[in-house]
Chains A and B, each alone.
Chain A
Amino acid sequence: MSSTGQEPLIATYGLTKSFRGKLAVNQVQFIVQPGDVFGLLGPNGAGKTTIIRMLLGLIRPSEGRAMLFGKDIELDRASILRRTSAIVEAPALYPHLSGWDNLRVMGQMSGVTDPKRLEWALDQMGLLDRSKDRFRTYSLGMKQRLCIAAALLTDPLLIILDEPTNGLDPAGMRDIRELIKTLSAQGRTVFLSSHLLNEVQQVCNRVAIINSGTIIAQGIVDDLLASRSFVQLRIHPTEIEVALNILQGLQWVKSVRRENECLMVEGPITQGAALNRALGQADIFASEIIPRSISLEEYFLSVTGQLPADYSGYGPPVQSILPQEGRHA
């Protein structure tokens, strides 16, 4: 059980995979709670797809375990995949078959043969009018949607999408984003991997950041971003030392740094007024109070060490929150 008391839908423990001695994924641990829209973020080649393949039993971990619905994918594959649908990498179905026939094939494989269910899935994805056309004639966005329609046939509780917006135009990206929100609203848990951080920030509530096969940060998106948000105060140079001392004494301030005539106060950006009040009691009045929140992209760049050398917007790194339960010895 996690700290929230809820059993995680996905939990990995020391998940490791090496190919011919080369480590692709190293001791990966993360949890996904029921109802989450979880984003696995990382640059290309970071190990995202390898993790997804291990979650789905396509490849075997060299070490560690992947638990879905509380069961080990190595041991309870069928019962896990009965409740899971996924699209791994590019959308792939049978090119010589129509959208309808592709769904029939996928439905047959899962024991779903009711034509109404097939129609419903196509309708959900807005593909009913193109259902007689061959898959090879579909645009990338339509292929993606047909694969999702195939994924919905079994009414899965968990949907895993690997780079779902890859290669899509802005309209296609928006459609997928809306779709993910819809799936989540229907009570499904969505796990997606992406290197498009803006996309992820718009749909995910929880993320893990992976770089070179290792998870370097994870947690609830708002918490992660809040951990790096700060308020910038411009103070008269003669008062700056006093202000520094006052602010350092505030309970909710994580850290204060001086940069020229400014103080960078790391802490909740909603506390600007409280900062001003504390300083005002000492007759110090800031000429500027600027709340600065960071984007997921900035957060990602900061934790992956890819920020420009002259970037000055961040405080010191904040320790990430890793799952401890069930950790292997």
Chain B
Amino acid sequence: MRNAFAKDLVDLARIDKSIFLITGDLGFSVLEPFATEFPDRFLNIGIAEQNMTGVAAGLAKEGYTVFTYSIGNFPTLRCMEQIRYDVCYHNLNVKIIAVGAGYAYGPLGVSHHTTEDLGMLRTIPNLTVASPSDPFEVSAITKMFVETNGPCYMRLNKTGESKLHGSVPDLSGNEPLKLCAGTEKLVLGTGAIVQEAIKVAKEKGWELWSFPIVSPMGKKWITDDLLRFKEIISIEEHQLNSGFGSAVLEVINDVYFSRKLTKYPNIRRVGIPNIFLGFSGSQEYLRNKAQLSLLL
């Protein structure tokens, strides 16, 4: 995913001269092509994420489309107030990119587990929150970020993800994208965990939709057609509190309350049960420990 992002950003920056990239001293073997081709629009600002976000706000105030880049919690939780106040309140054109979503950096420890970002960031007004499941979604989101005037956030897994879509999908309306058709159960997923969910869904004959945009979430997908499934399961590599599944419940509830859904569907949420996993482990191992499985 991060390579798709880095390549797309170079392509976009060739056309759009306002694109500026700031890294908090990360991006070795990823960001060099951008840095080499656009040295005047690249800045390694050092290991100082509060400053990175404030400087990005300043550059954006003067017309730049500024991407900030770092690992997981550093360009996000570390500088939440700069994101909330400097970037989002002033509605500035800053795009925050975090690598290492969920347990992508599993063995590195809790400092590098990005498991609260969606919940914390999706509460902030003006901010678009994106969580792609494959490199094609990354490309669609990166392009959308450049075309959208305003603050955006994207969590990237790492590398080596399969392509789940046949081509770069259309993200209009922030609606979910159907990855496989099926019956009985409908799986709603976001992020790289969808790569695992699709295997189970295909095996079981269940339907699966991916949500590249978590916030603001589209609502057109919520119709009585959902009632043909006995169960809806949300899955995310994120704490259950306030995450993707919570967002799904919120919008379904809102639509149900407005009488556009005649019956409340059965919904089960799969996510990290609000715990830290302090031991070492691969992404797969930690996902299992957190019981991130569609199967009961």
The judgment on whether A and B are partners is: no
Report B's interface with A, CB cutoff 8 A.
Answer: none
